[in-house]
Chains A and B, each alone.
Chain A
Amino acid sequence: MSTIWVIFKRELSGYFTTPIAYVFLALFVFLSGIFAFYIGNFFDRGQADLQAFFMFHPWLYLFFIPALAMRLWAEERKVGTIELLFTLPVTMTQAVLGKFLAAWVFSGIALAFTFPMWITVNYLGTPDNGVIAASYIGSFLMAGAFLAIGSCISAVTKNQVIAFVVSAAVCLGFVMSGFPLVLDVVSGWAPPAIVDAVSSFSFLTHFEAITKGVIDLRDLIFFVSLGAFWLFANAVVIDAKKAQ
């Protein structure tokens, strides 16, 4: 446990050694606000909730999370510090979790800085703060699932740009898989069970359910188990690739 903590601290403070982290935070807060106000028509809806704010999170994460995850392992492999890390008394699980948690907490910090949205909606009306809390939890869980994907793909390559593009593409697949655009392609030839399976992998479906205030255990399990699966794959990829 303490080893995870040591790796976590090094990784998280690593984000803040460059000004990029602050730009990243500012950009996330700014964009999530812009989307809510201008595209989500926060005011015109005339409703005291944050639906217009949360509905854009999957799309924001599509670019922000791969950017956050791309250097996690690609950098270690490129510089060769992966050899240093795994000859220290550190297990694979500790290393993968330490790094993942650092990136996840960073995304949590970004999410926390959107608190002015919550203040605004409370100032303007009387929203259901339970729904808002559930939405924040759902958004944070979804960020974790995105991050697990990004972390795994970051271990596949030594090139951060490739890691970014590929994880954004994979994440897009997960976001879109509930859309007719994707389902129509599948439903042409696959049996209904597979179509259902594909659509059930959609981040949007599960996330929207949570933002409506319905915390269904299945939605939570979806994000947690998906994240766990990708982190497991992450460890397998590191083991297979570290020698190269």
Chain B
Amino acid sequence: MAMRVDDGGGEYVVPMIEIRDLTKRFGPVVAVDGVSFEVERGEVLGFLGPNGAGKSTTMKMVTGFLAPDAGSVTVGGDDIASSPIAVKRRIGYLPEGAPLYGDMTPRAFLGFIAEIRGLAGARRRERIDTVVEQVSIGPVLDRPIETLSKGFKRRVGLAQAILHDPEVLVLDEPTDGLDPNQKHEVRNLIRGMSSDKVIVLSTHILEEVEAVCSRAIIIASGRLVSDGTPEALVSRAPNHNVVCCGLRGVEASGAVEALGAVDGVQRIDVVAASAERVSLQIHPVNGASLLAPVAEFARTRGWEVDELYAERGRLDDVFRAITRPHGSSAGNAGAASGEG
């Protein structure tokens, strides 16, 4: 249930998570520096940033594990400083590394979480059965958690987080250490739950952001440096909407000159040119789409086109450009040092 407030001028929805000027210092190090954002129901928020940027620290403050030095966290209208228990009831949290009580079996562990969460009787059995099914841990329910593989441990952690069907789900690197099939399953699970929840997940796998998130926030050195949809983020890539075009039976200089006259073309690079084939990269002005005009132009000229596509741009390049202010340009992604 979203909280609706009628202030006379029509109702508006209060954001489920409201974070204001959140700041945390560890000694002289400012881990999180004045971060503010809001998340609404139905959103899947991807939390990006290099290691040590303050992602986990922010999540620890949102879930009430750490107290902020300044700023406030409000979840579902409750402030975490004044009513921490109410906030914690609303949140399901998978901490970084999915810490679990290794001496317990998943069955006993989920039973413990259910009891703490106040689930009892039929409701408790039903929820445990549901999440065991959802994360497919049925076969290992009665084995000590410490003997399980990393993938199973991660899934037990996930089961624990979603056990009480929380309104807010905070997942710190939920797919870390999973194989591609398991990653796919977990992403499907997250997508399946996203409609009626607020989901915040941190990751450094950028494809994951494009796969599951409706919005992405980038944090670098404790500050929020970008906030938008993954698509908007991708469009900031230097090669976004660059049209790659392969032509046969056309002379390179002639083609460049002719295409240069097309509206919206900023410049054209010749990637390769031989007697029978020319390969071009056509850069648009302001990242606008050029695919249709270029195709139309080639058709009217009667050129033989054997390749024509627009680059989407890579999130990795944008990520690097944003999080490394003093680094090299985002374009030479492959040569960039200091990865990870």
Contacts and interface: CB of A to CB of B under 8 A. Distances in A.
A243 interface: yes
Interface stretch (B60-68, B222-230, B320-328, B331-339): B60-68
Interface in A1-47: 3, 6-7, 10, 13-14, 17-18
A88 B113 contact: yes
Interface stretch (A48-56, A76-84, A190-198, A204-212): A76-84
Interface of A: 3, 6-7, 10, 13-14, 17-18, 79-81, 83-84, 86-91, 242-243
B75 to A, nearest CB: 12
Contacts of A83: 60, 65, 95, 99
B260 interface: no
A14 B88 contact: no
B89 interface: yes
Contact of B85 (A17, A84, A91): A91
Contact of A79 (B85, B89, B91, B99): B99
- Interface centre among B66, B115, B160, by most chain A C-beta atoms within 10 angstroms, is B115
Contact of B65 (A13, A79, A89, A242): A242
B60 A88 contact: no
A88 B115 CA distance: 11
Contact of A84 (B26, B64, B95, B118): B95
B116 interface: yes
Contacts of B89: 89
A79 B99 CA distance: 6
Contact of B112 (A10, A80, A91): A10
21 contacts: A14-B104, A17-B104, A17-B144, A18-B103, A79-B102, A80-B95, A81-B99, A81-B100, A81-B101, A83-B60, A83-B99, A84-B160, A86-B64, A86-B65, A87-B63, A87-B64, A87-B91, A88-B88, A88-B117, A90-B88, A242-B65
A6 B91 contact: no
B262 to A, nearest CB: 57
A84 B95 CA distance: 7
Contact of B26 (A3, A87, A243): A243
A3 B88 CA distance: 14
A83 B160 CA distance: 13
Contacts of B102: 79
B63 A243 contact: no
Nearest to A7: B116
A89 B116 CA distance: 7
Nearest to A15: B103
A17 B101 CA distance: 12
Contacts of A7: 116
Contacts of B60: 83, 243
B93 interface: yes
A180 B79 CA distance: 55
A96 to B, nearest CB: 15
A11 to B, nearest CB: 10
B97 interface: yes
A186 to B, nearest CB: 37
Contacts of B63: 87
A94 to B, nearest CB: 9
Interface in B39-83: 60, 63-66
B65 A6 contact: no
Contacts of A6: 112, 115-116
Contacts of B103: 14, 17-18
B95 A87 contact: yes
Contacts of B91: 87
B24 to A, nearest CB: 9
B88 A84 contact: no
- Interface centre among B89, B93, B99, by most chain A C-beta atoms within 10 angstroms, is B99
Contacts of B26: 243
B88 A87 contact: yes
A89 B26 CA distance: 25
B97 A80 contact: yes
A18 B104 CA distance: 11
